[in-house]
Each structure stands twice: as structure tokens, then as C-alpha cells.
Amino acid sequence: MNENVFNSVKELIKKSKLPHAILIDGGSSSERDEVALYIASSFLCNSVLPCGMCKNCIKINNGSHPDVIITDPGLMNEKTFKVNVVRDIRKDVYVLPNESKYKVYILKGADKMNASAQNALLKTLEEPPSYARFILLCESRSAMLETIMSRVTAFGLGSGSGSVESEYETKADNLANELAIALSEVTELRFMQLSSAFEKDKDLFPLVLSSIQLIFRDAVAISTGSDLILSSHADTARILASKLSLKALIGLVGNTEEFFECLNKNANKNLLITRFCSVLRNTAYAG
């Protein structure tokens, strides 16, 4: 289990700062479920951190709590998360909780929603009843609309737990960190040198993209006075926050989202990698 994510979640719970809409991506589906149920329990348990022993915690863990609604297109053998399921949620959300302070919706396979389903959900995320809480689970946030992403607090669990993969992931994460540091330097030489790694190994690109996006998000958080750091590179995020404008940082998050969208549409990876350098540098140092 991703300790970083668990610790961030626990910190938020302790400070009573858990947002009403959360997205969890990456990891295995059982890891995502574990974090989602933990968060749901923290909403409904009387202890600050879920005790695991009370009536609410037990019901949540065995899937029988009437105020924790779990939807899973996979269970119904659906390939997509249908818009009518979202519409049912939109109606159901106005029915008061049965026995608790909150009503928690856990939406598995949120990345299987098409744009119209996501737009339908967006309306509920924008103006939810005060007792409603949403936990969106998906393999990758890159399939989510930007408007949805702007309404949720996202936690990434990383990909897989096999040792080979995680070593590779560490490599990508370190490269993302070095690239982010290089981006804070006025000359582009170092950034160019580092991004030549993609020419040798194109598979690194999406992983680096997802790590560097998290660093940019953290830099935005720092710039706006939030202490919620999600990446493992808080120092780098601080450097970026001190050297780049907030507008530039938000632009960089947007750039990484656009690159994800292109990757999803199977755009030419070589071209994307070539553009990566110039797009990020331009955003960082525009104006």
C-alpha cells in the first residue's frame, strides 16, 4: 500500500479537511478500494481515524452500510460507466442519509464514463447537498475531464507493486524530479539533456509525465498556501513555487493534462516527446 497516500489522507482526516470529492487513481483495484473504504469509514466513524470496530466501520467493511453507495460497472459486466447510473446518483443524492451524518458515494471505474456522463456528474460535484461525499476510483485520471479534476482532490497510488515495475517507476519519478528542478533554471540546457532519456526509452514518458504533474500540483498548492503535498518531492515543488509565477505553475499542470489527453488518443509519442521540452519551457517563462 502506498504509505504516502495513506499518510496524506490521515493528515487531512485529522485536520477535518477531507474534501467532499476525492479521486483515487493508480495502484491495483483492491488498493484503491482499501483507501476508499478507509476514507468512507473516516466520514462515518465516531473516532477521528476510523476505529474498524464500531457498527459503522464493520458495516462499511462488509459492504452493508446503507449510507455508503458503491457503483461498479464491472460488477454489472458493463464496459462503460453509463450516464443513467450517474442520473440515478443525482436523484438519490437528494434523499437524506439513512442513519449517518453523511452519504458516501464510491464510484468505481470513473474513468469509464464518457464525456456526457462526466458532465452529468459534474453538476452534482459542483452543488452537492451538504451531507454528500464522493470518492471516484479509476485506473488513470488522464481519462477524466479537466472540469471534473478541478472539483476533486486527487490521490495517486502509483502503478503496480511488482519489484521490477516499481524500480522502473522510481527511475521515472527521479527523472521527473530532475526535470522539474531543471525547469526552475533559466537556461534550458539541463532540461534538454535530461529529456533525451525519452529518446532511448519512450515508455518512461507517461510515467514521468504523471510524476511531474504531481510536482507541479504541489507547487500550485504551496503557492496558494495549502500544505497538502502529494508528491514525494516537496523540496522541488517549493523551488518551483519560489521561482515561477502561480499562472505559470497552473499552466504547467494544464500542459501535462494535455499531454495525457494526446497519449490517450494515441498521438505520435515521438512528436509529443519533442514538443514536451518547448511547451513546458514556454509555459514556465512566458511573460
Q: Using CA atoms, how far apart are residues 54 and 123, in angstroms rounded to an integer?
A: 34
C-alpha cell at 220: 500550485
Q: Please, which residue, 45 or 241, has the CB nearer to Zn ion?
A: 45
Site for Zn ion in 172-231 (CB under 5 A): none
C-alpha cell at 241: 513555487
Site for Zn ion in 37-66 (CB under 5 A): 45, 51, 54, 57
Q: Please, which residue, 57 or 244, has the CB nearer to Zn ion?
A: 57
Q: Please, which residue, 57 or 239, has the CB nearer to Zn ion?
A: 57
Q: What is the CA radius of gyration of the chain?
A: 20
Are residues 48 and 14 in contact, defined by beta-carbon separation less than 8 angstroms?
yes
Q: Please, which residue, 57 or 135, has the CB nearer to Zn ion?
A: 57
State the number of binding residues for Zn ion (CB under 5 A): 4
Q: Please, which residue, 45 or 214, has the CB nearer to Zn ion?
A: 45
Q: Please, which residue, 36 or 57, has the CB nearer to Zn ion?
A: 57
Site for Zn ion in 139-168 (CB under 5 A): none
Minimum separation from the CB atom of position 46 to Zn ion (A): 6
* Closest residue by beta carbon to Zn ion: 45
Residue 70 in contact with Zn ion, rule: CB under 5 A: no
Q: Please, which residue, 40 or 183, has the CB nearer to Zn ion?
A: 40
Minimum separation from the CB atom of position 61 to Zn ion (A): 10
Minimum separation from the CB atom of position 50 to Zn ion (A): 5
Minimum separation from the CB atom of position 52 to Zn ion (A): 6
C-alpha cell at 245: 509565477
Q: Please, which residue, 45 or 220, has the CB nearer to Zn ion?
A: 45
Minimum separation from the CB atom of position 99 to Zn ion (A): 14
The residues, any chain, with a CB within 8 Å of residue 90's CB and separated by 6 or more, are 120, 121, 123, 124
Contact pattern for Zn ion over residues 233 through 252, marking x by CB under 5 A: --------------------
**Exposure b/e, 161-191, CB count within 10 A at least 16 = b:** eeeeeeebbeebbebbbbbbbbbbeeebeeb
Site for Zn ion in 255-274 (CB under 5 A): none
Minimum separation from the CB atom of position 47 to Zn ion (A): 5
Minimum separation from the CB atom of position 39 to Zn ion (A): 13
Minimum separation from the CB atom of position 58 to Zn ion (A): 8
Binding site for Zn ion (CB under 5 A): 45, 51, 54, 57
